[in-house]
Chains A and B, each alone.
Chain A
Amino acid sequence: AQSVTQPDIHITVSEGASLELRCNYSYGATPYLFWYVQSPGQGLQLLLKYFSGDTLVQGIKGFEAEFKRSQSSFNLRKPSVHWSDAAEYFCAVGVFSGGYNKLIFGAGTRLAVHP
């Protein structure tokens, strides 16, 4: 069965520090992979997505993610975190099944940023 694992429930970093959020997926075919961000009280916003091609994907707000098939991972990175990046981050795998685009989400990683 398809699944997404985000091993870190909470992460705290200092402003200006680098960030890496981990995501591992389980899916038998070529995955479509997404990272969404949810700010407090807001809906989910797409940060970036991987469909095919270059395994290093650039997104909005200075984020990037790298798809590693051998490790079944799609980790999210940012070289220098800003206080406004404090939010909850969700990794998702897209599965086309039964005629629709099904997103399977991980449980999320809550990011806190210290000044």
Chain B
Amino acid sequence: NAGVTQTPKFRVLKTGQSMTLLCAQDMNHEYMYWYRQDPGMGLRLIHYSVGEGTTAKGEVPDGYNVSRLKKQNFLLGLESAAPSQTSVYFCASSYSSEDQETQYFGPGTRLLVL
């Protein structure tokens, strides 16, 4: 049981390049989330999904797209990377959203955009 895993762990991009971050969970969770973590700002929600085939915007969705084609995977895409997207990205999942189920976090992906 690996929990929540993220690929890659670290990436350097040039401005304008694109990339996809992969999140996978093996806990059969319905809900999945993408956050970004910036110094002094805690974690902010980018996008989330309440089930396979569904996605929705969070607090800071601009510049990102997501897809949830399979229940266990949640992809975060950057179509044209900008230096402002330099951050640490965390994926999380939870069994449900009711009753404030605990969110389980992956180890993070560190992204540097030059």
Bound pair: A and B? yes
- Contact of B56 with A by CB under 8 A: yes
**What is the total of A-B residue contacts with beta carbons within 8 Å?**
62
Question: Shortest beta-carbon distance, A94 to chain B, in Å?
Answer: 4
Number of interface residues of B (CB under 8 A): 28
- Contact of A83 with B by CB under 8 A: no
Comparing B12-20, B74-82, B100-108, the segment that makes contact with chain A is B100-108
Name which of B42, B94, B106, B107 has the most chain A CB atoms within 10 A of its CB: B42
**CB closest residue in chain B, given A9:** B40
In the docked arrangement, what's the CA distance between A36 and B43, Å? 11
B96 cross-chain contacts in A, Cβ below 8 A: 101
B44 cross-chain contacts in A, Cβ below 8 A: 105
Number of interface residues of A (CB under 8 A): 26
Q: Are A107 and B90 in contact (CB under 8 A)?
A: no
Question: Shortest beta-carbon distance, B53 to chain A, in Å?
Answer: 15
Q: Are A103 and B103 in contact (CB under 8 A)?
A: yes
Chain A interface, >50% SS class = strand
- Give which listed residue, B40, B90, B97, B107, contacts A41 with CB less than 8 A: B107
- Give which listed residue, A43, A49, A96, contacts B90 with CB less than 8 A: A43
Question: Chain B: residues with CB nearer than 8 A to chain A?
Answer: 4, 31, 40-45, 48, 50, 56, 58, 90, 92, 94, 96-108
Question: Chain A: residues with CB nearer than 8 A to chain B?
Answer: 4, 9, 32, 34, 36, 41-46, 49, 51, 90, 94, 96, 98-103, 105-108
Pick the 4 closest A-B CB pairs, nearest first. A105-B42, A43-B105, A101-B97, A44-B105
